[in-house]
Structure 1
Amino acid sequence: MDQQTYSNPNVRRLMNKSYIAIKVDQDSRPDISNRYEDYGWPATVVFNANRGEIVKRQGFLPPMQMASILQAVIDDPSPGPSVEPEKAVIYATTPFLAPSLLAEVTNEYEKQYDTAGKGWAFGHKYLDADSVEYAVLLASHGDKLQEQHVRDTLQAAQKLLDPVWGGEYQYSTGGNWDEPHFEKLLYIQAQGIRTYAQAYGQFHSPDYLAAAKNIHRYVRGFLTSPEGAFYVSQDADLIDGKHSTDYFRLNDARRRALGIPRVDKHLYARENGWMIRALCKLYAVSSDASTLQEAERSALWVVDHRSLPGGGFSHSDHDTAGPYLGDSLAVGQAFLALYEITGDREWLKRAEGARRFIAANFAAPSGAGFTTSKNATDAAYEPHPERDENAQLARFGNLLSYYTGDKGDRETATRAMRYLATHEVAIAWLSAPILLAETEYTRPPLHITIVGVRKDPSAKALFQIALSNGPAYERLEWWDPTEEPLLNDDIQYPTLPHAAAFLCTATACSSPMVDPQILELHIRKAGS
C-alpha cells in the first residue's frame, strides 16, 4: 500500500485535505494488534473526531478503492456496514465447557483439517502449533488418523524452511505450501522450534529434530542481539514492495552480495518469552547445553531490562500504553519452562510472581477472563480479553498450580476458563486452543519426580530421560534430599541410598525406578 496506494495523487489529495494519517506498528502495540486482529495486516480503520469507528477494512486496498472510501466518508461520515455494534456477551458462570459445547468444538476441530492441502486451516498454509499439539495428544492415545495428519503436516510444512539461512517463512499463499511469503517473524520461529521438537519427542523422527535445528540456526544467526535477547522479525523483501522469490532462490554469497532484508531490532519481553520456551523444549529433546545457555541468557536479559514492580514485565523499554498481558504471560511461561528443565527454584518463584502480577492487573471486570491491556487504548474502547491469550493463561495457571500448590494459580486458570467456556468464544476459529485448555484444566499432568543428589550421574540420566520422553503436559521435578522440600510437597518420597524416579497419579506413585530404560517405558505407557 505504501508503494501503490498511499503514493497515489488522488489518495494523497483526499488524505491531506480531510484526514490525519497514523501508521501503527502492531508488534509495538499488542492492545491495538489484538483489537484489530480479525482484520489482518494491513488493517485500515477510519475514525471520526470523537474516536468512533467509521470504516474497518481488511488487507490490501488498491488506489481507486481507497480513494472511493475516503471520498465516501467525507460525503457521509456515519459508520458504514463494516462497523457493527458490539454484541453483548453473557459469559459462562462455570469454567467447564458444557458437554454439548465441547462436542461442538471437537466436531469443528475435525473439520478444520485440509486433507488435500495437508494442514490445519484452508487458504493460506502455515504451521498452527496448537492444532498440531492437540493432534499429537490424540495420537499418543492411539488415534492413527490424527497421527497421520501430524506427519503429513510436518512433512509439508518443511517447504517453508529456508534451506540456505534456515528459519521458517511466515506462510504460503495459493492454498498450497509452494508459494511462501518470506517474512520471518520470531513468533513463527518459536512456534516452529517448539512444534518440531515436541513431535520429535513423541515420534523420534530425525527429520523433526533437523527441522527444529534448522530454525534455531537462523535465530542464532539473524535474530539474536549481542546481549542475547531476540529481535522481532526479518522483512520478506530486500526492497520494499518488490517480491523476493528470485532473491530467496540464491545461495548465501549471492544473497549477501545484494544485501540482507531489514531486521526489526526491537526487543520485546513477549517475543523473548516465546523463544525461551521454544529453546527449553529443544534442549529437552537434544540435551544441547548451548541451547539451554541461550534460553537462560535471554531470560536474565528480560529480568534485567523489562521487569516491573510486582513481578510483571513491560513490553519495551518505553511503552506508549501498557502494561500488556502478553508480556507477563509469555515470560511467566518461559520461567516455568526453565524450571522444568533445570529444577532451579528461582525460575519457579519468578513464574509465580508473573502470574500474581497478571491476576492483580488484568482481571476483566466481567469476572471472566483477562484483558490484553491494563489501560484503555482510547476513551471509546475498553480493554477486552483475547482468546489465544486466555487459552495460554488458563494452561499456564493450571500447570503452575500443580508445581506450587498455590490456590491463586488455579483461580487464575478458572477465571480464564470461564471466558473460554463461553459459547461465542469457544466456537471461534481455530478450535485447538480451547480443546488444549479444557483437556489440561480437567485432568492432572503426568507427574514425574527424580529423587537424587544433583551431582549424581544416575540422577542426571533419569532426569534427562524424563525430559526427552515426557509429554507436553507434565509435571517434572527433581528433588535433591539435601535441599528444602519441593514448593508443593504433596507427596512424601522415601529416603533411598541411590537415585530413583517416581511416576505418580492423583492416588498413587510407582515403585522407585533406577533404570533409565525402565523409566522411559513407563512414561510412554502412562502417556498413552
Structure 2
Amino acid sequence: TQIDRSLNRQYGGWGRNGIGGEQSGSRLRHLYLRAHLYNDAELHDLALKGSAGFLNSIDPVWGGSYIASFPEGAEVPERFAALGAIPEKRILVQSNAITAFAIGYQHTGDEKYLAGIREIDRFLKNWMMADDGTFYTNQKSEPSRLPRGMSTYEYWALQSDRERRKYGTPPVDHAVYTDRNGEVISAYVLAYETTGNEDYLETATRAATTILDQRTRDAGWVVQATANDEVDSDARMRPLVTEEKPFLSAQAWFGSALLALYRATGDEHWLEAADRIGKATLNLLQDEKAGGFFATVPDATAAIIAPRKPLESNGTAASFYYDLWIYTKDDTYKSVSENAIRAVADPAIIRREGKITGEFAMALEKVTTAYVEFSIVGDTSHPNASALFEAGRDVFEPRKLLHYEAPGRYPDRGIPSMYICNPDMCSVPIENPADVKKQAAAFHGPAATL
C-alpha cells in the first residue's frame, strides 16, 4: 500500500513528475512480480510504463540514464527545462535501467528495449568500467570548464560529443562499491538471459570474478570498498571509507549476484561462492536472539546504542537466503529469511523509510508466495540437458530458481528431464524443451502451501 500510494499512474514510476531512476528499481520489479502473480492487467500496464519511462532518461550523446527525467506533458521545474532531466548518472540508476529494459523486452518483444540496454551498456563500458572489469559509482553533473552563464542543464543539452568536450567532461567518482557492483552484475545477467547476448554474461562474470579474487576475506565475506589510484585523485567531499569489516549490503547484494550467475549458467562455482558468503554473514552479522541482520559487526557502543538493522538490506538478505536455501537444501538457511523479515517488519520503521521499501516488499512477496524451482536431472553433458536449461532460462517467472540437480529427489530417467515444482506440486517429467513454457504456466500464481 505504501509503495502504491507513491506510484505515478500517469507516467509510471515513482517520481512526482516522471521517472526517478533510483526510486524505480526494486519497486518496478515488485510491480512486475505482482502483475505476474495475480494476472493483473492494470499492474502490468503500469509496470510497462515504468520500463518505457527509462527510455526518456537516456543521454543521446554518451548513453547512460540520467538520475531522473520528465516525460512529455509533465510539469518541468524551470531550472530543468533546458534538458528535461536531472543529469547526474549514478551506477544504481544504470542497473535499474538495464533491469527495466530487460523485463520490458521479455513482456513485449519491442526492440526499443534492446536499444535501451545497448545505450546503458555503451555508457558503462566507455565511462564507468575500471580496468579490472568492476564499475565506478557515478558520473557527476558539472564539467571541469563550465563557462559563466551556462548551466549544467544547458551543457548536457548539447547534442554532440565535440560540443560537450569544449567545456571538459564531468568527473567520475572512481570508488568501486561491492554492493553497487552486485546490482550491476545482476542486471547484466538478466540482460543476458533476456537477449542471449554472451557479451553481457562475460561482463557480469568478469566483474564478479574480480570481486571474488580481490575482496574475499579468509572468513568468507567480501569487503565493501578498497583503495585505488584513481579514487585517490578524485575531488571528494569526504574520503573513501575502506574499513576491513563486513557490511550487510555488500554480502546481500553480491551474494544475490552470484546466485543470478548460477541461475543463468548452472555453474556450481557461483553457488559455492554464494554459500561461503551466506555462512560468513550468518556467523558475523545475524542477531541470533531476535533475528535479522546488523548493518555491520556490532562494536563497543552496542551496549549503549542498539546496532542498526537496515530495512532494505535485510530485505535483500532475506531474498538471498531464501533462494540459497532452496538451491542448497541446507536447513541452516531455512528460517533465516522469515526471521529477517520479522525482525524489521515494524510498521513505524516501514513508514519512516517511505519509498525506500522495494527490496523489503520483494522479499515479503517471495517468501509468502513461494519459489518456482526448475530442476534438470540427468547427464549434464547431454544436448537435451542444455536445451532444457535454455528453455527454462527463456521463461519469465520472477521467482524462478533454475539449476541442474543430481539424481536423488528425482530419478535419472536415462534422458535429462526437467521438474518444475513449488511447495504445492510438481510438473510431470519434461523431456521436450518445447513443453517447458506450457508446464511453467501452471505455477503462475502464489503457492497455497507454505
Q: TM-score, normalised by structure 1?
A: 0.72
Deviations 1:111-169 (A, max 9, x none): 22222343224367314122211221222232111112112222223111112221111
Between stretches 161-170 and 406-415, larger displacement belongs to 406-415
In the other structure, the counterpart of 2:176 is 267
Q: CA deviation at 1:175?
A: 6.0
Structure 1 position 421 matched with structure 2 position 368: no
SS in 2 for 1:120: coil
Q: Structure 2 counterpart of 1:264, which letter? A: D
Which of 390, 411, 417 is 1:500 aligned to? 417
1:461-480 equivalences under 5 Å are 461-479=387-405
In the other structure, the counterpart of 1:87 is none
Q: Percent identity?
A: 23
| Structure 1 contact 202–469 (Cα < 8 Å) conserved | no
Q: Structure 1 counterpart of 2:422, which letter? A: T
In the other structure, the counterpart of 1:292 is 201
Which of 30, 33, 39 is 1:134 aligned to? 30
Q: Name structure 1 gaps, 5 residues minimum.
A: 1-106, 480-484
In the other structure, the counterpart of 1:109 is 3
For residues 423 and 349 of structure 1, what CA distance do their matches in structure 2 show?
A: 36
In the other structure, the counterpart of 1:222 is 127
Q: Which has the larger radius of gyration?
A: 1
Q: Structure 1 counterpart of 2:98, which letter? A: I
Structure 1 position 310 matched with structure 2 position 219: yes
1:168-183 equivalences under 5 Å are 168-172=65-69, 179-183=84-88
Which of 428, 431, 435 is 1:514 aligned to? 431
Q: Name structure 2 gaps, 5 residues minimum.
A: 228-241, 446-450
1:183-222 equivalences under 5 Å are 183-222=88-127
In the other structure, the counterpart of 1:344 is 267
Structure 1 position 433 matched with structure 2 position 433: no
| Structure 2 contact 19–53 (Cα < 8 Å) conserved | no
Q: CA deviation at 1:258?
A: 3.5
For residues 421 and 130 of structure 1, what CA distance do their matches in structure 2 show?
A: 17
| Structure 1 contact 376–382 (Cα < 8 Å) conserved | no
In the other structure, the counterpart of 1:62 is none
For residues 168 and 234 of structure 1, what CA distance do their matches in structure 2 show?
A: 11
Structure 1 position 143 matched with structure 2 position 48: no
Deviations 1:382-411 (A, max 9, x none): 531111111111111111110011122233
SS in 1 for 2:152: coil
SS in 1 for 2:431: coil
SS in 1 for 2:402: strand
Q: Evaluate the alpha carbon distance shift between residue 461 and residue 206 of structure 1 in structure 2; reply closer, same or farther with a 3 A threshold.
A: farther
Deviations 1:295-333 (A, max 9, x none): 111111111111112210111225246431111112111
1:75-90 equivalences under 5 Å are none
In the other structure, the counterpart of 2:319 is 395
1:27-42 equivalences under 5 Å are none
Between stretches 175-184 and 130-139, larger displacement belongs to 175-184
Q: CA deviation at 1:240?
A: 8.4
Between stretches 164-173 and 336-345, larger displacement belongs to 164-173
Which of 295, 306, 315 is 1:372 aligned to? 295
For residues 292 and 509 of structure 1, what CA distance do their matches in structure 2 show?
A: 30
In the other structure, the counterpart of 2:232 is none
For residues 6 and 244 of structure 2, what CA distance do their matches in structure 1 show?
A: 36
Q: CA deviation at 1:269?
A: 1.9
Q: CA deviation at 1:521?
A: 2.5
Q: Evaluate the alpha carbon distance shift between residue 108 and residue 315 of structure 1 in structure 2; reply closer, same or farther with a 3 A threshold.
A: closer
Deviations 1:399-443 (A, max 9, x none): 111001112223321221112322223344235433322221123
For residues 476 and 361 of structure 1, what CA distance do their matches in structure 2 show?
A: 29
SS in 1 for 2:373: strand
Runs of 4+ in 1 over 4 A off after TM superposition: 173-178, 375-382
Deviations 1:466-525 (A, max 9, x none): 11223121111124xxxxx37xx5x223322x3332222325432232333321222244
SS in 1 for 2:335: helix
For residues 116 and 300 of structure 2, what CA distance do their matches in structure 1 show?
A: 39
For residues 313 and 295 of structure 2, what CA distance do their matches in structure 1 show?
A: 8
In the other structure, the counterpart of 1:449 is 375
Q: Structure 2 counterpart of 1:406, which letter? A: D
| Structure 2 contact 19–50 (Cα < 8 Å) conserved | no
SS in 2 for 1:160: coil
Q: Structure 2 counterpart of 1:222, which letter? A: W
Q: Evaluate the alpha carbon distance shift between residue 509 and residue 216 of structure 1 in structure 2; reply closer, same or farther with a 3 A threshold.
A: same
SS in 2 for 1:503: strand
In the other structure, the counterpart of 2:234 is none
For residues 111 and 344 of structure 2, what CA distance do their matches in structure 1 show?
A: 36
For residues 437 and 280 of structure 1, what CA distance do their matches in structure 2 show?
A: 20
For residues 204 and 514 of structure 1, what CA distance do their matches in structure 2 show?
A: 27
Q: Structure 1 counterpart of 2:296, which letter? A: S
Between stretches 245-254 and 129-138, larger displacement belongs to 245-254
For residues 477 and 398 of structure 1, what CA distance do their matches in structure 2 show?
A: 15
Q: CA deviation at 1:283?
A: 0.9
**How many matched pairs?**
413
For residues 421 and 243 of structure 2, what CA distance do their matches in structure 1 show?
A: 47
